[in-house]
Structure formats: C-alpha cells, structure tokens
Amino acid sequence: MAETVTPDLLPAAVPVQEQQDKPESDLEPGFLVICWNDPVNFMDYVTHVFQMVFGWPRKKAEFHMLQVHEQGKSVLARESLEKAEHYVHQLQKYHLHATMERDE
C-alpha cells in the first residue's frame, strides 16, 4: 500500500497590503545610537544628558551610563536614519562621544 504522504504546507503568502501596514521600523534599515566611553565626562553628567535627550527616568539613564563606563560603550537606541542623526546631534551638543552605526 502506498504510503499516505502528508503534503508540505507552504506558508501563506503575506498579502501586499499587510506588508505595507507593517511598522516602518521593521522595513527600514536601523541605525544604532551609541555612546562611547571617555576619560573626561563625569558619570553624573552623562546620566543627566541621557535623561534630557531621551526622556528616560534616572534608573534607566544610570544603567546605560554604567554600561558606557564598564563596557566601553552603550547602545542607546535603534532608530531610523533621521532620528538617529537627531539623537547624535543632541548628544554631541553636550560633548558626549556619540555616533551612529548601521545595525548589521
């Protein structure tokens, strides 16, 4: 007796409309906003700047500050090109060592 073969079910094609409704962040390449450690900026100052630029509560700002301090850098955000540029501009205005990198 011939075996009953269970057919492979192909994933249903995603309708184009659904794809277009996906949030932009899933479709556009992302850019990481990174703050790098340096010997000159005070920890309290860095915490304050993170609170001001990102609107974070103190605890979250301190967490990222400690990452910068202990690990050499912290990824602060993943954003679109324009938004990432905006954040880097703001951080550099406070003289923090901040850059944006492609999220590979």
Partner 1 sequence: MGRREKDLFLELLSLYPRTPPAPRALSKNSVLPDAEASQRMLDEALAEQRVQNRQLLQQLMLDLARFQVRPTGMKLVLSEADTEWLLQVLNDIRVGSWVILGSPEDPHALDELTEETVPSVWAMEMSGYFQMHLLKALTGD
Asked if 49 and 96 count as a contact pair (C-beta separation under 8 A), the reply is yes
Q: Interacting stretch for partner 1, rule CB under 8 A, among 3-11, 12-20, 39-47, 62-70?
A: 39-47
Q: How many whole angstroms separate alpha carbon 9 and alpha carbon 30? A: 33
Phi, psi dihedrals of residue 50, rounded to the nearest 5°: -60, -40
Could you write out the DSSP letters of every residue in 66-84?
A: HHHHHHSEEEEEEE-HHHH
**Interaction of residue 22 with partner 1, rule CB under 8 A:** no
The half-sphere exposure of 56 on its side-chain side, counting CA atoms within 13 A, is 18
- Report the nearest approach of partner 1 to the CB of residue 89 (Å): 5
Q: Interacting stretch for partner 1, rule CB under 8 A, among 10-18, 20-28, 61-69, 80-88?
A: 80-88
Task: Count interface residues toward partner 1 (CB under 8 A).
Answer: 23
- Binding positions for partner 1, rule: CB under 8 A: 31, 34, 36, 39-42, 44-45, 48, 52, 81, 85, 88-89, 92-95, 99-102
